[in-house]
């Protein structure tokens, strides 16, 4: 399914740009071309000016000392911290809001925060989960366990990747019915904002990768990883309106699905919301058939549609590569290391497996 890129995803591109280009500002001799190198022939010019660049592309090894990783970590947690502050402000100023406004505002903030946690989990695996002051107080009162709030961001211990994953999934599910069922790619008041289709996409993607995200020891390879058929989620089969307006028990029903079924469930939600491949008459089968002629010059007669024997997509290549990394147990390429500056600031943080100092 092809979805138009909206402003929601722009920050992801910005983060990628930071990681790739931030080192340009660091003028270290080892990162510059050798001005004293020999340029006496075409092959020498190529080796020093072109071939050497592939070393930076194909053989990059990230370490906890990389400033680019620290910049990404800092940006993600800066947004998370602002989201926590926003939740506290909404609670504090709730007398100025209707009940629906308060629920909708908080749902949108929680969804944005969950998306930031998703990116942090994807990059670093074991990360700290920090709540708003109000949420932390409620959780502590209910469980008797103190959790980190925005006031002690630098002294928060990490949670296992599987715990962070479940937290993100739950936050998105809880926010879903309070968000507008609008297309954020369309021009208008909802353009670039998190809406129900965006949440459905994120939930489908999370469920698709549940085998990876629920596996806390990524250095052990594929065989020890939990199977998608044995990872279960509870999904709401009612629409947002019936959930919010006190629908009947039958309307508010839920069901338990495994990871693959959950992925399909949310993909179907997106299809029902009007997302799909854009029509193109040039490649439409019936139109294309009328453009073709047999060897004798007569129009080609269209026969019954058959499924192609093989389907190739570059996305499959990328997915196979990432899956192979996990199966192999390639510890240094599955996750990034926790930035050393973060470890220095917070003694409760522990470096990811495979990056421990030798």
CA distance 33 to 358: 30
Query: What's the rounded mean pLDDT across residues 83-106?
Result: 91
Is the model's pLDDT at 150 over the cut of 70?
no
Higher pLDDT, 322 or 265: 265
Query: What's the rounded mean pLDDT across residues 179-192?
Result: 81
128, 349 contact by CB (below 8 A): yes
pLDDT digits (tens, 9 = 90+) for 49-72: 777 777 666 555 677 777 888 999
What is the structure's pLDDT at 325? Answer: 58
Q: What is the pTM of this model?
A: 0.68
224, 217 contact by CB (below 8 A): yes
Angle at 232 between CA 229 and CA 235, to 5 degrees: 125
Q: Name the band, by pLDDT with cuts 50, 70 and 90, for residue 174.
A: very high
Is the model's pLDDT at 289 over the cut of 70?
no
Is the model's pLDDT at 114 over the cut of 90?
yes
């Amino acid at each position: 399914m092809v979805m138009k890129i909206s402003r929601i995803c722009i920050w992801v591109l910005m983060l990628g740009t930071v990681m790739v280009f931030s080192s340009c500002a660091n003028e270290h001799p080892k990162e510059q071309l050798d001005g004293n190198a020999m340029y006496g022939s075409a092959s020498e010019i190529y080796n020093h000016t072109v071939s050497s660049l592939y070393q930076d592309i194909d053989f990059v090894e990230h370490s906890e000392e990389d400033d680019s990783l620290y910049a990404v970590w800092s940006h993600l947690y800066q947004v998370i911290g602002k989201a926590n502050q926003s939740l506290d402000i909404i609670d504090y100023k709730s007398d100025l809001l209707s009940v629906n406004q308060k629920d909708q505002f908080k749902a949108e903030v929680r969804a944005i925060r969950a998306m930031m946690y998703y990116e942090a989990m994807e990059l670093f695996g074991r990360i700290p989960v920090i709540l708003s002051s109000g949420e932390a107080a409620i959780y502590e009162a209910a469980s008797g366990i103190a959790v980190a709030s925005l006031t002690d961001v630098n002294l928060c211990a990490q949670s296992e990747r599987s715990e962070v994953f479940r937290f993100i999934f739950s936050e998105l599910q809880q926010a879903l019915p309070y968000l507008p069922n609008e297309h954020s790619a369309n021009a208008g008041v909802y353009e670039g904002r998190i809406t129900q289709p965006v949440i459905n996409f994120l939930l489908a993607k999370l469920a698709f990768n549940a085998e990876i995200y629920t596996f806390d020891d990524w250095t052990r390879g594929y065989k020890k990883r939990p199977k998608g058929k044995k990872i279960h989620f509870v999904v709401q089969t009612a629409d947002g309106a019936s959930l919010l307006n006190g629908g009947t028990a039958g309307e508010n029903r839920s069901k338990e699905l495994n990871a693959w079924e959950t992925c399909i469930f949310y993909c179907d939600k997106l299809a029902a919301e009007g997302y799909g491949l854009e029509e193109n008459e040039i490649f439409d089968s019936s139109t294309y058939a009328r453009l073709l002629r047999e060897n004798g010059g007569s129009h080609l007669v269209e026969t019954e549609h058959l499924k192609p024997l093989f389907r190739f997509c570059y996305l499959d290549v990328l997915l196979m590569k990432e899956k192979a990394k996990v199966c192999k147990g390639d510890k240094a390429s599955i996750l990034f290391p926790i930035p050393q500056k973060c470890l220095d600031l917070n003694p409760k943080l522990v470096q990811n497996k495979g990056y421990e100092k030798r």
